[in-house]
């Protein structure tokens, strides 16, 4: 009789944990979190770590469910550059779903935000290093558009060698004319005589 009671109690315990586990995995993320910049930053730090230079929330994977993107500057162990992390709501909690490799750039004096193109239903991350790597005699500008739905990174690298020698290198994976035209038109505003080069980046 006692063994039957123990068995019933044990079965009920397993059933309760099973229900709670299922409930956790199907719970939607707290919607108001995405509208609060401080909560977005707090969530990103809990998942990625404290050294975060950029965060934003948006429709990066679909046009109906929001995610968080965090940017981190790396400068250690002979590595230097920036990384972006896609933080998604999975199994009842926020987790890293994707991270980029190390990209050229710095979060100092840069332009970085989400961007929406009319040909796409999801939002992208747009990064531009602006004048941070430019000096009086020349320098570089690094720019990236990150598609977190397709997990693709489109890059542009502007090289200013001298006043009359400016080239724009585009990564070969740019397969949409709208993205290519965005890069070219942006840089041609300041450098109308730039030479366009397309190569693997």
pLDDT tens, 173-194? 999 999 999 999 999 999 998 9
State yes or no: pLDDT of 100 exceeds 50. Answer: yes
Burial class (CB in 10 A: 0-12, 13-18, 19+), 62: exposed
pLDDT in tens, 119-178: 899 999 999 999 999 987 789 999 999 999 999 999 999 999 876 789 999 999 999 999
- pTM metric for this prediction: 0.83
What pLDDT, on the 0 to 100 scale, is given for residue 172? Answer: 93
Sheet holding 67-76, edge to edge: 54-58, 67-76, 79-90, 93-99
Q: Quick one: which H or E segment has residue 14?
A: helix 2-26
User: Phi then psi for 186, rounded to 5 degrees?
Assistant: -60, -50
**194 closest CA partner among 161, 146, 154, 147:** 161
């Amino acid at each position: 009789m006692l063994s039957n009671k123990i068995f019933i109690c044990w079965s009920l315990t397993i059933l309760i944990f099973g229900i709670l586990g299922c409930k956790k995995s199907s719970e939607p993320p707290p919607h108001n979190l995405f509208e609060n910049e401080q909560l977005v930053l707090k969530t990103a730090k809990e998942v990625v770590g404290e050294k975060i230079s950029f965060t934003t929330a948006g429709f990066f994977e679909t046009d109906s469910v929001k995610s968080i993107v965090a940017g981190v500057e790396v400068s250690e162990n002979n590595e230097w550059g920036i990384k972006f992390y896609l933080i998604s709501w999975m199994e009842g909690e926020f987790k890293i779903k994707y991270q980029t490799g190390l990209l050229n750039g710095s979060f100092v004096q840069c332009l970085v935000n989400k961007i929406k193109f009319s040909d796409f239903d999801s939002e992208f991350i747009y990064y531009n290093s602006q004048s941070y790597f430019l000096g009086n005699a020349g320098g570089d500008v690094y720019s990236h558009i990150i598609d977190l739905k397709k997990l693709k990174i489109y890059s542009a690298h502007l090289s200013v060698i001298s006043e009359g020698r400016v080239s724009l290198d585009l990564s070969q994976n740019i397969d949409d004319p709208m993205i290519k035209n965005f890069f070219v038109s942006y840089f041609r505003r300041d450098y109308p005589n730039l030479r366009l080069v397309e190569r693997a980046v």
